[in-house]
Amino acid sequence: MSTLARSQTSPLRPAICSPRPNVRTFSTSPRSEKWGMFKTVQEAEARHKSGPFSFRAGALFVLTGVGLYSYFTYEKGRMERMRVTESHKGVGKARIGGEFTLTDQNGQRITDKEARDGKFSLVYFGFTHCPDICPEELDKMAVMIDKVYEKRGKSLQPIFITCDPARDTPKVMKEYLNEFHPALVGLTGTYDEIKDVCKKYRVYFSTPRDLKEGMDYLVDHSIYFYLMDPDGNFVEALGRQHTAHQAADIISTHIGDWKGPVKIDA
């Protein structure tokens, strides 16, 4: 058989294809799972060297510490003021203040509660014929009132109680107090009423009882401002050792510490 014949009768063999080898591709990006959120190895190393605290974290830590220190310092002062105030109410101690009914500069009879009118009150004892001390102290009182009003609103009621009821009539009181501050309430009364309220506030009272018309006499009295809370309890006595601004700051602090209701006029 010829060669040509054999090629025509032979079956076709299938083509054999070699399998394609598996080729793994790698990303050229510098980011990898090993470094987590860091974009580069250099960034990770820089973070590692800086440690767990950053400038922002340090600043926050300092500010938090300062805030806590300020808060606990304030609370310590407030608790000390409350302790002093409560000590004034102690059993066996002479109480300062108390109930009374007197006549105001408009001729109306009012009680101590009505005079306070739901506010803190600042009580001063004096007399209109006082040549120097009372005018100076009332000028000081006017500054104190305005400073407290700036910080705490009209939450303080200033009260002037005369130690000279014979000469300080409601009309005289009204004309006198108008020269100092419009918020002042002036109180007068009979000899026995004034003597009684002076005793309750532990104020020295030297006015003679039986006075003839035109008789000249001296009046001596204590020089203190008595701060009372809205319930009529004694809080603190402010003397000549306090400037008007110092006294106003003390009063404002006590008002701020007060946890009960307090009236504030518009």
Other beta carbons within 10 angstroms of residue 263's beta carbon come to 14
DSSP assignment letter at 19: P
Any binding-site annotation on 130? yes
pLDDT number for residue 85: 52
Domain boundaries, the chain: 53-87, 101-257
Strand 156-162 and strand 185-188: the pairing is parallel
Q: In which order are the strands placed within the sheet that holds 234-238?
A: 109-111, 101-104, 185-188, 156-162, 120-126, 225-228, 234-238
pLDDT number for residue 216: 76
Question: pLDDT category, 189, cuts 50, 70, 90?
Answer: very high
Q: Picking from 45-54, 228-237, 241-250, which range would have the lowest pLDDT averaged per residue?
A: 45-54
> Which one is predicted more confidently, 209 or 3?
209
Tell me the pLDDT of the chain averaged across its residues: 81
Reported as type and span, the H/E element at residue 135 is helix 133-152
Other beta carbons within 10 angstroms of residue 82's beta carbon come to 13
Q: How far is CA 235 from CA 41, 89, 166, 212, in A?
A: 68, 9, 30, 39
Q: What is the pLDDT of residues 119-147, one digit of tens each?
A: 999 999 999 999 899 999 999 999 999 99
Any binding-site annotation on 17? no
Q: What is the pLDDT of residues 69-91, one digit of tens each?
A: 655 565 555 555 555 555 545 44
Question: pLDDT category, 92, cuts 50, 70, 90?
Answer: very low
**Residue at 240: amino acid letter:** R
Does position 196 have pLDDT exceeding 70, yes or no? yes
DSSP assignment letter at 168: -
pLDDT number for residue 35: 46
Q: Which CATH class is domain 101-257?
A: alpha beta
Any binding-site annotation on 134? yes
Question: pLDDT category, 53, cuts 50, 70, 90?
Answer: low
Q: Which residues contact 36 (CB under 8 A, 6 or more apart)?
A: 44
Q: What is the pLDDT of residues 164-178, one digit of tens each?
A: 999 999 999 999 999
Please, are residues 252 and 236 in contact by the beta-carbon 8 Å criterion? no
